[in-house]
Amino acid sequence: MATAPTAVSLPPSLAPLISPYLSAADQEMVAQAYALAAQAHAGFFRHDGSPYIEHVTAVAAQLAHWHAPAPVLAAGLLHDIRKEKYAAGVTLAEVTAVLGSEVAQLVDNVSRLGRLGAPYTADYPHSVQDRMAQVAAQLPWVALMLQRSPLAVVIKIADKLHNFESLAVLPVERQTNFANGVMSIFAPFAERLGMRIAKRQLEDHAFAVLQPALFADLQRRYPETARQTAAQPIIDRLQAAFTAHSFPVQLFARHRSLFDMHRLEAVAQKEILLHLADPIIIICPDEAACYQALGAVHALWPPQPGQIWDYIAAPRPNGYRGLHTRVHLDEGEWLSVVIRDGQMDVVAENGVTAVWRGISIELQSPFPAWQEPPAGKIGVLTPIGDFISLPVGATPVDFAYAIHMGLGHQCTGALVNGKQVTLDQPLENGDVVRILTSVANVGPSPEWLNFAKTARARSAIRRWLKAQKPQHAAESGWQKVDETLRPAGLTLSAPNVMNRLTAIARQLGFESRDALFLAAGLNQVDLGRLLRLMQETAENGDDSTPLHATIVSLAEADMSQRLAACCRPAPPDAIVGYVTKSGVLSIHRANCHKVRHLGPLIQAEWPLVDSQPRAEIQLLALDRPGLVRDVSQIMADADINMTSFHADRLADGSARIVLGLGEIPRWRLDRLVAQLESIAQVRQVERRAPTLSGQLMHDSVLARHFENPYTLRPVSGAGFYGRRRELRELINNLRDVRPGEAVLLWGPRRIGKTSLLLEFQQRVMASQDYVLVFLDMQRLSGRSTTIFIRDILRAVAQAIGHPEVTPRINRLRRDPLGYFRSFLDNNPHLRDKHIVLIIDEFQLLPHLTEEEVTLADINHTFRSLIQHRGGLSIIFSGGGVLDSLLKQPDASFMLEVARYQKVDCLDEPAARQLIVEPAQRVAYTPTAVDNLLTLTARHPYYLQWLCGELMARADREERQVIADEHVERLLTEWLPEQGEQFFNHLWGSSAGLTRPQQFLSKLALVTMAGGAAETMSLAEMENSLSGVLVDTPHLWYVLQDLAQMDTVMAVGERYAIKMPLFRRWLQANYTLDRVLKERTRGS
């Protein structure tokens, strides 16, 4: 936490600039801001080696040149305190305490603008209006920033201007990305705010980076001195005409930016004559004189028809005023003339900042088409700044489905403005929402239908539940119907109630009672109407049989009974009895709050109503993997005594399961049947008289149920194949690291990094000298930073193996990092031990919510420990593009000096082992093994995936051999039906690529997959995409990212999809049209 800033003198580069126009009190505010900035940036340096404080001081100096007031200067000095890579120790709360909320809000708004990148990078629209329209179309929330905090944009423009001074030390790609963002976003911002001097500077700086050769050529052809000399005769002639009429004016040529010259040449399709290159500016004494000067100019030279603009009577949205005309000099020569008074000229060049010079300016809406969201709507943002419009009351679930159906299905939580919230929390206008996802246990819950607001979300949830988990939806429906009927005295356990419900289900148009439960679980049943219909049938005499409890005590066995209205007990609730003053035995649930104060209580239980000495259930279903498991799970959950279990495959290929049951009440049998009917692909469930096992059909085959030896989960031990070289390299990297270094284990997604770390943990490092601490960030994603520290300490305690060594949570909450250091330093069991902290999926660190301690504080603590403690090493593990991993803000301080180790696909012997060795009960033909190796490029995840399905099919068909034809049948019948969740990481969905980059990746991959040849050059790709607006440099960069992810491989100057399996899946599922339609739907 920052201490109160001490008095610090302003640097010479800033103090002389502000003293002429700021009061002593305002200068003191700026000095306080400078002290805070010096404290925050102490010890931090820019890429060019200069102290970081010099950058923010230069930004403030630029603002002072524009005569910025004290709060804006203060925000300029503090605009980067939230960049953890360049600042520490000063928070917005402290800025508020020292300088006030206005400055803190400005700093926060500038930080938000720091997320903005280029929405397009080439083929810039020629007019500023077109560029602004493009920005408005893609980033509508920017309009809100311009409307609500234009001063934040002004500070960011000053920041960009100074950044150009040190841009040359960065890699070319980063220079290009920076210049693209300035040209695409901030130059149009400057124009919209009327800051034309800043706009010209930004455009020329960016232009020089993006097209240096063309910029140099324009400098050579249009030098400013030559342009001034060429324009001087025109100025002299105008001056003579005005002097002859005693008309006082100022005349000069205002130099265009070289980017403007480039734009003019592109429009004219020829070189511009030097004397026509710059507009002639005429400054008049007042507004009336401007119109007189216009007449004088037209007396000298005739105007071009339709080329006179009066921006005095109708100012531009940015407050600009003036008269514009184009006049005819000679054959084919047209000169631009601009006429303004003195104040108009100041506004024309300085825009919104003209108010700081005492000139009133009235800005119109920066984006007239975009105001506040319409009534009944809110606007929220994605973490990268995309704008999503939702109805009022919408939740994170609605947000996730608004972006993509797959994101909605994989949603497990949400961060709103950096804090984790429940999925049913209503969003508010301007919220920044990040959806937390998990590939495991994917799928919506029926409860989401209770709070999802948008039709898109509700429809997607219903479709998924109906197709993927009908049993869950049906169970949820059962509960909803039960909760609706129970207060009216109707319990689903009563046979007559179930019979009436069956009849009413058909009356409402459902095929069965279970179809009604499924629809209720999907929120497609009017439960109020259902209750009314049930009550009407009860009034017509079709009432349920009253429940009666069995009393264990003989003394009360014959007493009159009644069910307590307070808790409405019903089977299978645990129950007790209580004798009332009127001598009636009142039956309550055992956990009823009222019975705690009653006594004595009498033991009671439900009788086995209409029980059968034995029952049997026959289930017919589509034979599929997991069917027996699903049935067994329901039986286990129901806690029913099962006397026999037969699983058969019939002659037609379907499955039959016969369950023998012990004594069971009819209400439990009804519920069990309903649960079994809800299992996916179950066609029929019927009750029947018990049969002997010998009476099974002669044409049935007893189904085998074996455990599949292949898995998509991380493995170690016997299931771990190969990787000996990688293990040795990891050990050597760990032993050879210097103080302050970390190890970064990276590679494509699902390549086996976690398995390698588990094997490293369990086998290689089984030494008393090491304490291994393994942290899976997927499990911690969305949790707090304090929980993160707690889990590290718990893992350390577990690794030590001493039960008395446990972290004290109460002390941890008071001072997490202080206690963390103390725990490591003062624990005798850690003396002379080397702690190895393994952080798997470390790119999820930013998903931690900051509680009690910030990520920046954790970073600095870790860095200090690995530099000075001497007994701590950190291994980061992450998947995707290395460049993206290195940009992780919450670990970059260590990754800058990390040792990098890449994990690739398996070598051939290990890949063959993975295929053959687990399959003890079947044999692969040699050609089938070769085919699998080629299809998967020896990728372990896809080998496990294919082999697992091949094994399941072999079990169902009772084959002992897996041959080429079985592999080919799998590719033809099964592969095309698999969802994109198995492949989307190959185009960057979880590799740090932005949505536009993922779209371009998918476009390139689908183009390659659709080509006649296996390889394709960049030129051939462009030709195939001739009808699609694609930027060649971006396409090239995306191909490099795909190569880093091992999705594609470069063959000379040609590219190919590395894994034929992926190529075949793309061919079966994607066309260019589908990719483009997905982009249209997602935009």
Q: Where are the extended beta strands (E) located within 650-714?
A: 655-661, 682-688, 701-702
Q: Name the pLDDT band for 73 (thresholds 50, 70, 90).
A: very high
Which range among 207-211, 915-919, 1044-1048 has the greatest average pLDDT?
207-211
Contacts of 374 (CB under 8 A, 6+ apart): none
For residue 17, the model assigns a pLDDT of 92
- Using the predicted structure, report yes or no on whether residue 273 has a pLDDT greater than 70: yes
863: alpha, beta or left? (left if phi > 0; alpha if psi -120 to 50): alpha
- Using the predicted structure, report yes or no on whether residue 702 has a pLDDT greater than 60: no
Please give the radius of gyration of the chain, using alpha carbons only, rounded to the nearest integer: 37
Describe the crossing of helices 258-268 and 196-210 by its angle, rounded to 10 degrees: 80
CA 15/CA 21 separation, integer angstroms: 11
- Using the predicted structure, report yes or no on whether residue 442 has a pLDDT greater than 70: no
**pTM of full prediction above 0.85:** no
Q: Name the pLDDT band for 55 (thresholds 50, 70, 90).
A: very high
Q: 672-696: string of b/e by CB count within 10 Å (b at 16+)?
A: bbbbbbbbeebeebeeeeeeeeeee
- Using the predicted structure, report yes or no on whether residue 657 has a pLDDT greater than 80: yes
Q: List the single range of 179-193, 219-233, 361-375 with lowest mean pLDDT.
A: 361-375
* Residue intervals in the chain for CATH 1.10.3210.10: 15-218
* Residue intervals in the chain for CATH 3.10.20.30: 377-464
For residue 249, the model assigns a pLDDT of 93
- Using the predicted structure, report yes or no on whether residue 692 has a pLDDT greater than 50: no
Tens digits of per-residue pLDDT, 837-852? 888 877 777 777 777 7
For residue 278, the model assigns a pLDDT of 93
For residue 340, the model assigns a pLDDT of 96
For residue 408, the model assigns a pLDDT of 85
Which range among 199-208, 258-267, 792-801 has the greatest average pLDDT?
199-208
Exposed / middle / buried, residue 355 (Cβ in 10 Å: 0-12, 13-18, 19+):
middle
CATH superfamily of this structure's domain 377-464 = Beta-grasp domain (3.10.20.30)
For residue 125, the model assigns a pLDDT of 43
* Structural class in CATH, domain 15-218: mainly alpha
For residue 1063, the model assigns a pLDDT of 92
- Using the predicted structure, report yes or no on whether residue 123 has a pLDDT greater than 70: no
Q: Give percent above pLDDT 70 in the chain.
A: 78
CA 333/CA 420 separation, integer angstroms: 64
* Structural class in CATH, domain 908-974: mainly alpha
For residue 813, the model assigns a pLDDT of 67
For residue 148, the model assigns a pLDDT of 60
Q: Within 13 A of 132's CA, how many CA atoms are on the CB side?
A: 20
Neighbours of 468 (CB within 10 A): 15
Q: Name the pLDDT band for 193 (thresholds 50, 70, 90).
A: confident
Q: Percentages helix, strand, coil for the chain, rounded to the nearest 5?
A: 50, 15, 35
Q: Name the pLDDT band for 6 (thresholds 50, 70, 90).
A: low
Residue in the structure block whose two tokens are 């956990």: 591
For residue 703, the model assigns a pLDDT of 34
Give yes or no for a contact between 825 and 836, defined as CB atoms under 8 angstroms apart. no
* Residue intervals in the chain for CATH 1.10.8: 908-974
Tokens for 984, please give them: 């989307």
The correct CATH number of 615-702 out of 3.40.50.300, 2.40.30.170, 3.30.70.260, 3.20.20.70 is 3.30.70.260
Contacts of 710 (CB under 8 A, 6+ apart): 918, 944, 945, 947, 948, 951
Tens digits of per-residue pLDDT, 991-1015? 667 778 888 888 889 889 888 888 8
The correct CATH number of 723-902 out of 3.40.50.2300, 3.40.50.620, 3.20.190.10, 3.40.50.300 is 3.40.50.300
**Mean pLDDT of the 941-957 span:** 85
For residue 197, the model assigns a pLDDT of 93
Residue in the structure block whose two tokens are 């002072």: 64
Integer CA distances (angstroms), 460 to 305, 399, 423, in order: 58, 13, 16
CA 612/CA 477 separation, integer angstroms: 28
Tokens for 717, please give them: 């031990």
CA 802/CA 385 separation, integer angstroms: 48
For residue 541, the model assigns a pLDDT of 47
Q: List the single range of 98-107, 444-453, 776-785, 1052-1061 with lowest mean pLDDT.
A: 776-785
For residue 869, the model assigns a pLDDT of 58
Tens digits of per-residue pLDDT, 309-352? 999 988 887 788 999 999 998 777 889 999 999 999 999 999 88
Integer CA distances (angstroms), 680 to 518, 569, 675, 676, in order: 12, 32, 11, 9
Tens digits of per-residue pLDDT, 505-559? 877 777 777 778 777 877 778 888 888 888 776 555 444 445 667 665 545 655 6
CA 912/CA 895 separation, integer angstroms: 35
Which range among 11-20, 315-324, 721-730 has the greatest average pLDDT?
11-20
Q: Give percent above pLDDT 90 in the chain.
A: 21
Give yes or no for a contact between 623 and 655, defined as CB atoms under 8 angstroms apart. yes
CATH 3.40.630.30 fits 980-1082, yes or no: no
Q: List the single range of 329-333, 488-492, 859-863, 1041-1045 with lowest mean pLDDT.
A: 488-492
Q: Name the pLDDT band for 882 (thresholds 50, 70, 90).
A: low
In one-letter notation, the amino acid at residue 761 is Q
Q: List the single range of 855-859, 912-916, 941-945 with lowest mean pLDDT.
A: 855-859
State how beta strands 961-962 and 923-924 pair: parallel
CA 711/CA 903 separation, integer angstroms: 19
Helix (H) / strand (E) element for 791: namely: helix 785-800
* Residue intervals in the chain for CATH 1.10.10.10: 980-1082
In one-letter notation, the amino acid at residue 954 is A
**Mean pLDDT of the 1032-1045 span:** 82
Q: Name the pLDDT band for 700 (thresholds 50, 70, 90).
A: very low
Residue 2 or 933, more confident: 933
* Residue intervals in the chain for CATH 3.40.50.300: 723-902
**Mean pLDDT of the 685-705 span:** 47
In terms of DSSP H, where are the helices of 891-989? Answer: 892-895, 908-916, 926-936, 940-956, 964-969
Tens digits of per-residue pLDDT, 568-623? 777 666 788 888 877 778 888 877 877 777 777 777 776 644 434 357 888 888 87
Residue 634 or 49, more confident: 49
Whole-number average pLDDT of the chain: 78
Q: Which long-range contacts (CB under 8 A, 24 or more apart) does 295-302 make?
A: 296/241, 296/242, 296/245, 296/247, 297/238, 297/325, 297/327, 297/337, 297/339, 298/325, 298/327, 299/241, 300/237, 300/238, 300/241, 300/327, 301/327, 301/328, 301/329, 301/335, 302/327, 302/328
CA 113/CA 193 separation, integer angstroms: 15
Q: Name the pLDDT band for 936 (thresholds 50, 70, 90).
A: very high
For residue 921, the model assigns a pLDDT of 74
For residue 705, the model assigns a pLDDT of 39
- Using the predicted structure, report yes or no on whether residue 707 has a pLDDT greater than 70: no
Residue 1034 or 143, more confident: 1034
The correct CATH number of 224-357 out of 3.30.460.10, 2.120.10.30, 3.40.1710.10, 3.30.420.40 is 3.30.460.10
